[in-house]
Amino acid sequence: MSNARGASLSGSDLTAQLQHNGRAVEAHIDLSERIKIVSGRLVYVPPSANSDVTSPPSTTPVTGNESTASRPGSPGSPPPSYEDSFAEQFSEFKSSHKSSYSARSSSYFKFSLRDKPLRLVGSILHAECRRAGQREYVHSELDLNSYIGVIDGQLVWGREGFFSISQDVRLEEFILHAECKNESGTTSHSSLDLSRYLQTYDGVLGVKVATDTTEISTLFSEASWMKFKVVTEPDPIGVLGTLGDQAAFKTAFSSLATTTTEHVVAEMTQELSVAAAQYVKSAVTDTVKAKMTEIVTNAVSARVREEITKKVDEAFAVARESVLKACYDMADEAANDVTIQYTQSVVGPMEDKITESCNKLVEYALREVSESAIGQFQERAEILMEREIVGAGIRRAATQARLLKILAATF
């Protein structure tokens, strides 16, 4: 280890920069494979005779600021996504923490940051996030002061400037706490669950819904379809139909659909890549060589991100029926790729089982995608509306104050 630089330990995975052939390479080794706990002591476990003891730890050249991926293509390495342990552990986490699809993004956000807690310095939130396909964490930060405000002593998402008018601001896991003054001048405690409003996508800490929606605020406060006369309108369909023609409405909800798609694809790729290997391995028999499993897994995994991204976009356009059809299309394409890469004499006896497994895998995955996308789109729409409801409350309070002032002056 004397020649190693930047050594770090994440779980049982030891990572370090080593010199190899005159250049820096990154090496990984899983200590859990060689070190065990016996009677309260750490004990070295020598490799078995059947293990590959001659192969050195996997290394990847590091050039400049180039990010290091998780060695796609090497035997036993995960597909181009987060490592398989992440996806497997998240699947277990979901099964033991039942939640609605609309709350799924919050659980994914919490789980993805489980090893690197959020930190709050002033109003700046700091996080260590993973990029897809990488083991390393990258630093990301977000100024909460631009997204959180205070209304009548309560922290509110979608406003701004909370930090300068709050006291004892602190973060406990994902909950933001502060002491705020209400309209009467009394200080009270307020809290806000940040996991509802934040997300991590490809190593970047961001917000699920942008708060800069001045156009849609105007739409909700001034558009004719929101006025009282709509109630007596003889053709309400015509009035409400103008909603779809409003550029602000289209822009806001198109953005929601886009961010939802990105999040669902990022999450589901982790699971589907690992599930592909599990389904195929359970379908093939011991008589088929291990190489076939690798080819089958790659044939399915290689299409995951491209196909799911395309199919989810279609799902938003033509509703859920297209997703049900898409699962069969993708299964057929994956099965065809497998058949082309292997001769019929090898794949033939297992083709039915492979096709059946791929069908089950893709049908399950795309059902999860469609349900999760719909639920999370609904959640983002709710977050968008929260801001407008708060704005409506402020306008109502201002109107009441003006009326009281007029009445006081009159009498």
| 127-178 residue pLDDT tens | 888 776 566 788 889 999 988 988 888 898 888 899 989 999 999 988 999 9
Q: Where are the domains of the chain?
A: 5-66
Where is 410: in which H helix or E strand?
helix 351-410
Q: Which pLDDT score, from 0 to 100, does residue 189 have?
A: 92
Q: Decide: helix, strand or coil at residue 65.
A: coil
Q: pLDDT band at residue 350, thresholds of 50, 70 and 90?
A: low
Highest mean pLDDT among 112-126, 158-172, 188-202, 333-347: 158-172
In the block, which residue shows the tokens 């986490």?
93
Q: Which pLDDT score, from 0 to 100, does residue 404 have?
A: 72
For residue 137, what are the β-bridge partners?
Answer: 130
Average pLDDT, the chain: 63
CA distance 83 to 348: 31
Q: Which pLDDT score, from 0 to 100, does residue 80 have?
A: 33
Q: Decide: helix, strand or coil at residue 190.
A: strand
> Closest by alpha carbon to 210, among 164, 253, 267?
253
Mean pLDDT of 73-84: 35
Q: Is the pTM of this model over 0.85?
A: no
Q: Tell whether the torsion through CA atoms of 157, 158, 159 and 162 is positive or negative.
A: positive
- Summarised one tens digit per residue, pLDDT across range 231-262 is 444 444 444 444 444 455 555 555 566 666 66
